[in-house]
Amino acid sequence: QSNVHNVHTQAVVSTQSTGEQKELKWIFVGGKGGVGKTSVSCSLAVQLAKCHSSVLLISTDPAHNIADSFEQQFTRTPTPVKGVPNLQAMEVDSSPPEEGMEEVFAEGGGSEEQHNLMRSIMKDVVGNLPGLDEFIALTNIFKIVDTHHFDVVVFDTAPTGHTLRLLSIPQSIGKVLRQLVQMKSWMSGIMNSLSGSLGMNNVNIDYIDDLLPLVERLDKELKNPDLTTFVCVCIPEFLSLYETERLIQKLTALDIDTHNVVVNQVMYPDRDSKGCPSCALCAARTNMQKKYLDQIADLYEDFHVVKMPLMPVEVKGVPMLQRFGKFLQAPPDMEKLSIHDLVKDL
């Protein structure tokens, strides 16, 4: 069991095991929608790029907010991030299942209409497997990482429900594929009889044998705490705290390491000469947050918890992401600083 309890960025990106420092490869950043996952993931990637030669930031959120954070457009292929050496970024959408169906069919034989009919049949039979689209997206990511030899990959994930489904896919798809391997000879006979009646060549389903090792590798790496960790991001409010606890319980059930919690948007209001918040709304929000910050301290006393202040400006653009990342590494002492001191030189 790996444990990390220091206040450096390395605590988020490394694990300490039997006295030997081992760097992670897969870092997932996630939580409830609207808590600042993208700000944390982008800032973390910027910090990592300072100590690694090749870092990849991947957005799996359909909203794809990393383009807004870096003020730069990204595509489905790794693109260098302007102003940040060693960092590339890309956006990933779950691929429609039919995009992966072409390899099922042998070349030659049959008309286009016959091929379209067989493709439609296979889409109904295989394409509706639960989680197949997320599985295709995951396998494409692993292929890209292997091809480009990235040192570290940071995921800016979709809100909790979609992300948990994504991370559970290798385990569930693996069970299905193992059953399909056992049934392959029976399936092959049926599909070849069907294709023969349509005047087509035999259907190739040997790709199932090739998929299974990849699925097993995905599952193994996601469950290896020396390679993978999940950084939970929340804000000090009831709904966010509730969802964070549910997320951590689900990750634990999936055997995915999680020991870092970033509490974002913590209020540090300006104070008057008596030390009281100078604004009634700020005082009310601060008191409300204190209740949940105390609960977070109790719930996650064995976690590495970082409290990030609510910034007076938007966290976007490379200079601001660098500053925010610096605070992830060493949170500012808000007993001595005002919130405006954090960005006065930007």
Residues classed as catalytic: 61
> Are 74 and 42 in contact, with CB atoms under 8 Å apart?
no
SS3 27: strand
* DSSP 8-state secondary structure symbol assigned to residue 100: G
Q: What are the residues facing 57 on neighbouring strands?
A: 89, 154
| Spatial separation of the C-alpha atoms in residues 58 and 29, rounded to whole Å | 10
Consecutive H or E run containing 263: strand 260-266
| Spatial separation of the C-alpha atoms in residues 274 and 103, rounded to whole Å | 72
Distances (CA, A) of 15 to 12, 21, 41, 252, 256: 8, 6, 18, 17, 13
* DSSP 8-state secondary structure symbol assigned to residue 276: S
* DSSP 8-state secondary structure symbol assigned to residue 62: T
| Spatial separation of the C-alpha atoms in residues 49 and 29, rounded to whole Å | 16
Amino acid at 315: V
Give the residue carrying structure tokens 């995921």: 155
Distances (CA, A) of 279 to 282, 311, 340: 5, 17, 15
Q: Rg of the Cα trace of the chain?
A: 24
Q: What tokens does 98 get?
A: 């039919």
User: Is residue 213 exposed (0-12), middle (13-18) or buried (19+ Cβ within 10 Å)?
Assistant: exposed
